[in-house]
Amino acid sequence: VTARPLAEFAALVGGDVSGDGSIPISGVAPLETAGPGELSFFANRKYRADFEASRASAVIVGTDERVASGRTVLRSTNPYLAFATISAHFNPPAPVVPGISPQAVIDASARVDPSAQVGPLVSIGPGAVVGARSVLHPGVRLGPGVTVGADCLLHANVVVRERCALGDRVVLQPGVIIGGDGFGFATDLVGVGQGPRHVKVPQVGRVVVEDDVEIGANSCVDRATLGVTRIGRGSKIDNLVQIGHNVEVGRLCIIAGQAGISGSVRLGMGVVVWGQAAVVGHAEIGDLANIAGQSGVTHDLAPGARVAGLPAVAEGDWARSMAALGRLNDMRHQLMELKRQVAQLERQRGEGTT
């Protein structure tokens, strides 16, 4: 990639240069390691010292960021987006190398677009379809009847079980499992001559992953009992996340690492679930709700709700409760002192009235 002047990148992202816009930029780098010719990024105030010490030729900052004189910056109303856009310019995705590895095992009834790339030791089952320019890395497993759209990227050892469907531009990080059985068992206390047993409820639905979804390493999306588990268009899911059967994740949701969405939950549009949070089965979560890390949502949430805690309550209430918790021992001592005082008053009263 050849160098281009900073001003061109500012134009690309709709930002403004403060300083010399003609500086040639040939790459992006972190504040600590960036050198001449490199553009860096500063948004988290925690790293101000790194920003001030950085040898980067220019730094992307917010429109109102305080900047020492002599420092060239690219100011943007959305600096993270500006950084993403410019970094993508310097770091385009690996080019697709069309063709099927001779060491892939592809059922005769499967259809793989000639522009797709299928790596070694991939297996593709009967009737599966792989769209244009999609890339399947080594060890990917597509079950019977799976459909993969165009421009998808399936990293190594991804598994997509039978009849599940991926839209276009879907990215699955290594080890993702799409379409494992949902966790559904009916307990039969009587059994059939051998005591109680848990009887499997057939999980014969499927998973639909819509366009522009990305799912992180080793995350799991279970197939529906009947019908469809759906991950809505443009949603992004982090690593080690569990999505239960029959869940409907709306469009543009963000689900952070190790979160768990129980069966039959419906997330509206743009819902944000932070790390290790959980939503109980069958809950309906309104658009743009925000669920704090490690919290446990046990009921429906209204659109725009912001919750935290175990069980989850309004975010501010949880913060106040936790702060109050820290004063609880103080309160207990105050209470004891008051009891003593009141007892004395009562005693005095008694004496006074005799």
Residues marked as catalytic: 245
Q: At its nearest, how many Å lie between a second copy and the CB of residue 69?
A: 27
Work out whether 21 is an interface residue with a second copy (CB under 8 A). no
CA 271 remoteness from chain centre: 10
Task: Give CA–CA dist 259/242, Å, rounded.
Answer: 6
Identify which of residues 127 and 234 has a Cβ nearer to a second copy in the complex: 234
Q: Which of residues 234-253 bind a second copy (CB under 8 A)?
A: 234, 236, 238-240, 242, 244, 252
* 272 to 72, 199, 213, 235: CA distances (angstroms): 35, 35, 15, 10
Residue from 75, 155, 163, 206 binding a second copy (CB under 8 A): 155
Residue 204 touches a second copy, criterion: CB under 8 A: yes
Query: In terms of CB distance, is 52 or 185 closer to a second copy?
Result: 185
Shortest Å distance, C-beta 17 to a second copy: 20
- Tell me, by CB under 8 A, how many residues bind a second copy: 114
Residue 293, classified by CB atoms within 10 Å of its CB into exposed (0-12), middle (13-18) or buried (19+), is middle
Least CB distance to a second copy at residue 74 (A): 15
Tell me, residue by residue from 300 to 329, as one string, x for binding to a second copy by CB under 8 A and - for no binding: ---------xxx-x---x--xxx-xxxxxx
Q: Output the smallest distance, CB 258 to a second copy, in A.
A: 5
Select from 280, 266, 267, 275 the least CA-distant residue to 312. Answer: 280
29 touching a second copy, by CB under 8 A: yes
Min. distance of Cβ 21 from a second copy in angstroms? 23
Instruction: Check binding of 134 to a second copy (CB under 8 A).
Output: no
Query: What residues numbered 177-196 form the site for a second copy, per CB under 8 A?
Result: 177, 180-181, 183-188, 196
Indicate the SS3 state at residue 17: strand
Closest to a second copy by CB, 63 or 321: 321
For a second copy, which residue of 56, 83, 231, 291 counts as binding (CB under 8 A)? 83
Q: Which of helix, strand or coil describes residue 266?
A: strand
- Does residue 141 interact with a second copy by CB under 8 A? yes
Q: At what angle do helices 315-326 and 328-353 cross, to 10 degrees?
A: 60
101 belongs to the binding site for a second copy (CB under 8 A) = yes
Core vs surface per residue 5-41: b (16+ CB within 10 A) or e: ebbebbeebebebbbebebebebbbebeebeeebbbb
* Residue 53 to residues 32, 34, 66, 88, 115, Cα–Cα distance (Å): 8, 10, 14, 25, 47
